[in-house]
Amino acid sequence: MKVYNTLTRTKEDFIPQEEGKVKMYVCGPTVYNYIHIGNARPYVVFDTVRRYLEYKGYDVTYIQNFTDVDDKIIKKANEEHSSMEEVSNRFIKEAFTDADGLNVKRATHHPRVTEEMDNIIEMIKTLVENGYAYENDGTVYYNTKQFPEYGKLSKKNLDELIEGASERVDKDDAKKNPTDFVLWKPYKPGEPKWSSPWGEGRPGWHIECSVMAKKYLGDTIDIHAGGEDLIFPHHENEIAQSEAANGKPFSKYWLHNGFIMIDNEKMSKSAGNFFTVREISEQFPYEVIRFFILNGHYRSPLNFSRELMQACQNGLERIKNCNTDLQHYIDNCHDSKLSQAETKLLDELEKYRTQFETAMDDDFNTADAVSAIYELVRFINKNLKENISKEFAEREMELLGKLCGVLGINKEKEKANDEDTAVIEELLAKRTEAKKNKNFAEADAIRDKLTEMGVTIKDTRQGVQWFRG
């Protein structure tokens, strides 16, 4: 399996430190609003990376944080006369609602900054003691000049960075170097505070990820992931902090997803093309959002548009219909053993598994993996015949289910859907009864009602088949 490592700018063989185990850290959102489509991409992409690693037999420990101390949260709390805690608790809950909708598995741990304060202070103390950080009037800065490798992830040259930063108007004269960044900031009225050796205050943003990765995964992790906008300065700073504090390499592989574009333009609040996942989910089901995200390679920019979403919805529907058809045959076909012709076809079936794995082994190419599923669906549809054996249908179902499971697009129908199913099946039973009694008017009326509910029915020799859409 090859993964593209931002640190080396090359595709490398994936070899975790410990055989069979993967330690993975993904930067999470700052919780002052609903998550937007740009946050949804790393959620879905790295959840899929995790699912594929698990499919390959790895035991994955997955950590994703919530930034629940931040200027934006404080601002929001002040605006609505509530507290930082109230705002962050609310939006953590909402983020879980969206993540669950997107079928993103819960992380092994979801640490929050407010709950990790002792360890944060501990790491800053270590950095000060080691000479990598210094205090000035209640503020603790990281001294970037002390870490010669600063810039190794973003491939930025420290001297050029210093020059660029020193030209900025908002420069901070308390810093030794313009590239130094804040580890701890002093308390200002109206803000939350914690006591520390440098007085009351709160941590800067970057330190939390170094601390949480260390606490839950150890000094060196296998995969650190996030959006490409985090490469500099956030991930560069994480490396500087962790490697200076622990004296060991921080992460073996760095994975970054590309930007989301809206109708070929960069998403921004000012351009008015800024969408939350919740807003989009009102027009398209969550699973379509997930499928849309996986239709592109994670490192390429992804263009979001209504037309592309619609195309993805249709594609997903095709996969789901195939699944429903197949299930119908499994439920109704005679329990016959594989025919000779089917035994031959099994070899062909395996080709789709190989095609899917080849795509995913090549730096998680989900776009090609989706194509492999489409081809599998075509194969299944072509071979769905009245005399198909149960065993053959089950083998096909097993493969389709497994591959869709890696992409997270075969979420069990939700509870509401199940209730819906009970209603549909009751109507279908009534319709069958009406037909048996030659009451065709009633049978037609029930069919119309089902059509209205978005249900299509097909009469086959093995009974009535139905699907949504």
Q: List interacting residues with Zn ion (CB under 5 A).
A: 27, 209
DSSP sequence for 133-188: EEEETTEEEE-GGG-TTTTTTTT--HHHHHHHHHT-TT--TT-SSTT-EEEEEE--
Return the number of the residue (209 or 333) whose C-beta is nearest Zn ion.
209
Smallest distance, Zn ion to C-beta of residue 71, A = 16
Smallest distance, Zn ion to C-beta of residue 137, A = 27
Return the number of the residue (27 or 153) whose C-beta is nearest Zn ion.
27
Smallest distance, Zn ion to C-beta of residue 57, A = 28
Return the number of the residue (73 or 209) whose C-beta is nearest Zn ion.
209
Beta strands at 302-304 and 260-262: parallel, antiparallel or unpaired:
parallel
Smallest distance, Zn ion to C-beta of residue 175, A = 22
Return the number of the residue (48 or 67) whose C-beta is nearest Zn ion.
67
Q: What are 140's strand-pairing partners?
A: 135, 184
Smallest distance, Zn ion to C-beta of residue 27, A = 3
Smallest distance, Zn ion to C-beta of residue 152, A = 17
Return the number of the residue (238 or 357) whose C-beta is nearest Zn ion.
238
Q: How many other CB atoms are there within 10 angstroms of residue 271's CB atom?
A: 10
Return the number of the residue (242 or 410) whose C-beta is nearest Zn ion.
242
Smallest distance, Zn ion to C-beta of residue 124, A = 16
Return the number of the residue (209 or 403) whose C-beta is nearest Zn ion.
209
Tell me how many helices (H) and strands (E) the chain has: 15, 15
Return the number of the residue (245 or 322) whose C-beta is nearest Zn ion.
245
Return the number of the residue (237 or 365) whose C-beta is nearest Zn ion.
237
Return the residue matching tokens 């209603």: 423
If we measure between CA atoms, which residue out of 329, 307, 328, 321 comes closest to residue 469?
321
Smallest distance, Zn ion to C-beta of residue 223, A = 13
Smallest distance, Zn ion to C-beta of residue 242, A = 11
Smallest distance, Zn ion to C-beta of residue 11, A = 24
Smallest distance, Zn ion to C-beta of residue 293, A = 20
Return the number of the residue (64 or 366) whose C-beta is nearest Zn ion.
64
Return the residue matching tokens 């599923």: 373
Return the number of the residue (29 or 101) whose C-beta is nearest Zn ion.
29
Report the residue count for the chain.
469
Return the number of the residue (42 or 101) whose C-beta is nearest Zn ion.
42
Ordered alpha helix ranges (H), 362-439: 366-382, 390-407, 415-436
Smallest distance, Zn ion to C-beta of residue 153, A = 12
CA angle centred on 393, ends 392 and 398, rounded to 5°:
100
